[in-house]
Structure 1
Amino acid sequence: MAYFSQQLINAITLGAIYGLIAIGYTMVYGIIGMINFAHGEVFMIGAFISLIGFIICSLLGIGSAPVAIVLVLLVAMAFTAVYGWTIERLAYRPLRGSFRLAPLISAIGVSITLQNYVQLTQGARPKPGGQIVSGGYNLFSADGFDVRVTWLQLIIVIVTVVLMAGFTWVIARTSLGRQQRACEQDIKMAALLGVNVDRTISLTFVMGAALAAVAGMLFLMYYGVIDFFIGFLAGIKAFTAAVLGGIGSLPGAMLGGLLIGLIEVFWAGYFSSEYKDVAVFAILVLVLIFRPTGLLGKPEIEKV
């Protein structure tokens, strides 16, 4: 029971990170119906910007961890927001009226470009990030095993819940959210009704990139090491989480992220860590066979 509880805590933490990345995928798909395969690299860049930010804070003598985290988070979100806007402006907007594979190929090209750009500027070796937040709390002990939740795990879960609630409120209650939902239903009709479609789509990319920056910083703090390739695998798993939960649904993206975290951690803990990725994609295949729209997704209804 103690081992199971510890693995559950680890799985929820990992799933929260995947969920934050998956929201970026599902927001873009919900509005323009296309997958931003460069989103994983934006997450990776957010992690590197966070690493550089923590190093600068250390050089400037900022010893307070909360102050350093807030400053680095704001800077990382600002920089990755620029990357998100640039990707939409260069790789998606010119191809919006083209055939559906064109933006997909363009996004893959951007993904490869960003990977190599970071590899050239930061090097191919893994970069250690150090321990930003330490300590934790022992929940209980059983059979000589301590079930422990670290302060960093609590921070990750709390930040994820707050951001999820905040973005849900933005989409449900604000003018920007109404414009996003209008574009999701019918872009042409939304434009006819006065919605600035280009601005709405750009802001959606910016919001998704900012969330990826948060996930990148939390990933750096949790694992303590990053490299230029982390965006590929994390991006694929986050995309899997978005599809599993129902792409286009924000709660579905978070649910899918938690499920991916649970499958990965428990499979590695009870069976074999070498095949945890196989287990994740096998579950995805089974879900898509019996529920093609995902767990919380809705079937698309084409109006004629």
Structure 2
Amino acid sequence: MFLEMIQTLPQVLIDGLTLGAVYAVVALGYTMVYGILQLINFAHGEIFMTGAFIGTALFIFLMGMSWITAIPQILVLIVVLVVTASLTGLMGMGIERVAYRPLRKAPRLIPLITAIGISFILQDVVRFIAELSSGNYIVTGPSLFTEQITLKLSSVSSNFNDASFKSSFIIVLVIAIILMVSLDYFINKTKYGIAMRAVALDRDTASLMSINVNKMISLTFFIGSALGGATGVLFAVQYGTIDPFIGFILGMKAFIAAVLGGIGNIRGAMFGGILLGVLEMFAAANLSLITAGILGAEYKDVFAFAILILVLIFKPEGLLGRPVAEKV
């Protein structure tokens, strides 16, 4: 059994890194908003889904133009990423201004319920538009970066099977890493990033130090939503088929990743996303083997939520989080 698990490990790592990178970038949106407002923005998964649909619509529109074939696909992807990230970022700012800001002083349960309501509204709006334009809410995007690459690992060592992946794997992984590193630099090294951290630490004191709190909160929603929308485009490129409900389960898992790494901790969200993706793919590949056929790959979601329960029991602040002393 152990030998079979080792043989599939390279493929598990490739698939896990791809999925984990998506989880990590989406988890950043959750952890940024929580760090400043102590709000779990459950609509963030639907912003990711909306980004996937906007990106796919842009791809279909651009690919319908004859001159676009003269432009490298990577440049087309960058244009779509920038446009989609800008639109979803503005959407996030609008949601914060309309749905969350009036409830900022309300009990925490009320904004949480509002976030859930926003997620259902986004689901139904996107479903309505998709069915109106194409007759089906399940959409298949254009094929990009589909070249199949095979790593001949069996010729190097008999302990490993060959592993294969699409060229989109490299594109998705590299862009996700660039997004995560850029955000880490922005938060820790720039003036606006320091101001955002100050607001997260003490909102009232930050306002006394001439920091525009509302502006920083809007900026947080813009960046988090832009990252979520861009990741939706990467998801559509990697997996091809999307529907209005992909944001729910993926958003929940990204939230698990944020909690796993330490909610409110930027680097913790990155680490938690990568770790969760690898563990989930490991479960999908080996659950049947470990349980002698009792549990199959379809139980990988149970595995993800079981990890969340264990973390909450034994280390509720997350793997990279710090215990917070209660103010009295």
The bucket for the TM-score relative to the shorter chain is: over 0.9
Q: What is the SS of the residue equivalent to 1:148?
A: strand
Kindly report the root-mean-square deviation, in angstroms, between the aligned alpha carbons of the 2 structures. Answer: 1.4
Q: How far, CA to CA, are the matches of 1:72 and 1:256 in structure 2?
A: 27
Between stretches 86-95 and 135-144, larger displacement belongs to 135-144
- 1:303 positional shift: 4.1
Within the alignment, does 1:125 sit opposite 2:137 as a pair? Answer: yes
- 1:145 positional shift: 4.2
Query: How many pairs were matched up?
Result: 304
Q: How far, CA to CA, are the matches of 2:193 and 2:326 in structure 1?
A: 23
- Provide TM-score, normalisation by structure 1: 0.96
Query: In the alignment, which residue of structure 2 is the partner of 1:220?
Result: 236
Counterpart of 2:303 (choices 271, 279, 282) is 279
Between stretches 148-157 and 107-116, larger displacement belongs to 148-157
Are 1:2 and 1:141, in contact at CA under 8 Å, matched by a contact in 2? no
Between stretches 124-133 and 113-122, larger displacement belongs to 124-133
Within the alignment, does 1:171 sit opposite 2:187 as a pair? Answer: yes
Between stretches 213-222 and 294-303, larger displacement belongs to 294-303
Runs of 4+ in 1 over 3 A off after TM superposition: none
- 1:2 positional shift: 4.2
Q: What is the SS of the residue equivalent to 2:162?
A: strand
Within the alignment, does 1:193 sit opposite 2:193 as a pair? Answer: no
Query: In the alignment, which residue of structure 2 is the partner of 1:87?
Result: 95
Are 1:2 and 1:147, in contact at CA under 8 Å, matched by a contact in 2? no
Between stretches 153-162 and 198-207, larger displacement belongs to 153-162
Counterpart of 1:23 (choices 1, 25, 28) is 28
Within 5 Å, give how 1:69-88 maps onto structure 2.
69-88=77-96
Q: What is the SS of the residue equivalent to 2:152?
A: strand
- 1:14 positional shift: 0.5
Within the alignment, does 1:134 sit opposite 2:150 as a pair? Answer: no
- 1:153 positional shift: 1.0
Are 2:59 and 2:142, in contact at CA under 8 Å, matched by a contact in 1? no
Counterpart of 1:34 (choices 23, 32, 39) is 39
- 1:95 positional shift: 0.5
Q: Is the radius of gyration larger for structure 1 or structure 2? A: 2
Q: How far, CA to CA, are the matches of 2:311 and 2:93 in structure 1?
A: 33
Q: Equivalent pairs: percent with the same residue?
A: 46
Between stretches 223-232 and 269-278, larger displacement belongs to 269-278
Query: In the alignment, which residue of structure 2 is the partner of 1:297?
Result: 321
- 1:178 positional shift: 1.0
Stretches of structure 2 that go unaligned for 5 or more consecutive residues are 1-5, 288-295
Q: How far, CA to CA, are the matches of 2:104 and 2:225 in structure 1?
A: 19
Query: In the alignment, which residue of structure 2 is the partner of 1:111?
Result: 119
Q: What is the SS of the residue equivalent to 2:9?
A: helix
Cα deviation 1:5-49 (Å, max 9, x = unaligned): 111111011000010100000000011111111000000000000
Q: How far, CA to CA, are the matches of 2:171 and 2:221 in structure 1?
A: 25
